[in-house]
């Protein structure tokens, strides 16, 4: 007998009837995340999700009042469960490890990014949902000697950069060859610097994670300089 396929290998749109009396808010959120990893928020409906679970549509509304409420719950379920890795080193090393781990989580769970992209809560502020990352980054920036305002600005910069880079990775995959072809069509006399750096620019656009870490280190270097000025 063959083993049961994992969730990721199941065919898209395949119906899974949940066992009787086992439906819960957690099970619905889990199903929504699985579906959202392979589709857009606009394409998922409560009716389709209910059919995927093998229950009536109104059953879902006994757990969530609307699709937006379900999407927010799915987002918070992933982000609130995030735990920064334990890392040796100074404050910058701890922040780097935290932001990198959060970036990897977001890239691996595009469902969360899709929910954030449509901003179902209307305010567009996603940073306050990653509470573990919030606490670690803020505490380490304060430990570095940054003032209250600089700490808040540093935190927002780090989280916006991390979420934004993950969004780009998921929604705009690296297309180095296409970029290279477009740049080669430019007049090299009018754009000599672009023409000269085509190999490097092409390589950078292929390396999503490496480019993220490069930019992250630049931000941390700037925060080190700011912290040194506070002393």
Give the contacts of 86 (CB within 8 A, at least 6 positions apart).
none
pLDDT given for residue 10 in this prediction: 41
Helices 110-118 and 25-36 pack at an angle, to 10 degrees, of 90
> Does the pLDDT value for residue 176 go beyond 60?
no
- The more confidently predicted of residues 107 and 15 is 107
> Residues near 78 by Cβ (< 8 Å), separated by ≥ 6?
33, 105, 109, 111, 112
Rounded to whole angstroms, how far apart are CA atoms 96 and 158?
A: 9
Q: How confident is the model at residue 8 (pLDDT cuts 50, 70, 90)?
A: very low
- Give the orientation angle of helix 198-206 with respect to helix 176-184, to 10 degrees: 160
The answer to whether 181 and 159 have CB atoms below 8 angstroms apart is no
d(CA 41, CA 114): 6
The overall average pLDDT reported for the chain is 82
Beta-carbon contacts of residue 126 (< 8 Å; ≥ 6 apart)? 75, 79, 116, 163
Q: Rounded distance, CA 178 to CA 170, Å?
A: 17
What is d(CA 187, CA 61) in angstroms, rounded to the nearest whole number? 59
End-to-end CA distance of the chain: 67
pLDDT 10s digits, 155-173: 999 999 998 899 888 876 6
How much is the pTM? 0.76
Please report the pLDDT score of residue 198 as a whole number.
Answer: 86
């Amino acid at each position: 007998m063959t083993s049961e396929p994992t969730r990721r290998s199941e065919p898209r749109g395949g119906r899974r009837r949940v066992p009787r009396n086992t439906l819960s808010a957690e099970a619905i959120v889990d199903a929504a995340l699985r579906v959202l990893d392979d589709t857009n928020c606009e394409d998922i409906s409560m009716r389709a999700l209910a059919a995927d679970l093998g229950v009536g549509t109104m059953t879902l509304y006994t757990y969530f009042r609307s699709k937006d409420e379900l999407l927010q719950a799915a987002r918070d379920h992933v982000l609130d469960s995030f735990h920064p890795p334990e890392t040796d080193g100074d404050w910058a090393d701890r922040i780097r490890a935290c932001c990198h781990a959060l970036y990897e989580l977001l890239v691996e769970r595009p469902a969360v990014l899709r929910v954030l992209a449509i901003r179902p809560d209307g305010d567009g502020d996603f940073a306050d949902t990653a509470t573990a990352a919030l606490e670690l980054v803020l505490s380490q920036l304060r430990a570095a000697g940054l003032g209250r305002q600089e700490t808040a600005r540093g935190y927002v910069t780090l989280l916006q950069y991390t979420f934004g880079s993950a969004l780009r990775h998921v929604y705009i995959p690296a297309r180095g060859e296409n970029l290279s072809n477009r740049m080669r069509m430019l007049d090299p006399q009018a754009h000599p610097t672009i023409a000269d750096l085509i190999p490097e620019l092409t390589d950078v656009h292929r390396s999503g994670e490496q480019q993220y870490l490069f930019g992250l280190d630049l931000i941390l270097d700037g925060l080190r300089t700011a912290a040194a000025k506070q002393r």
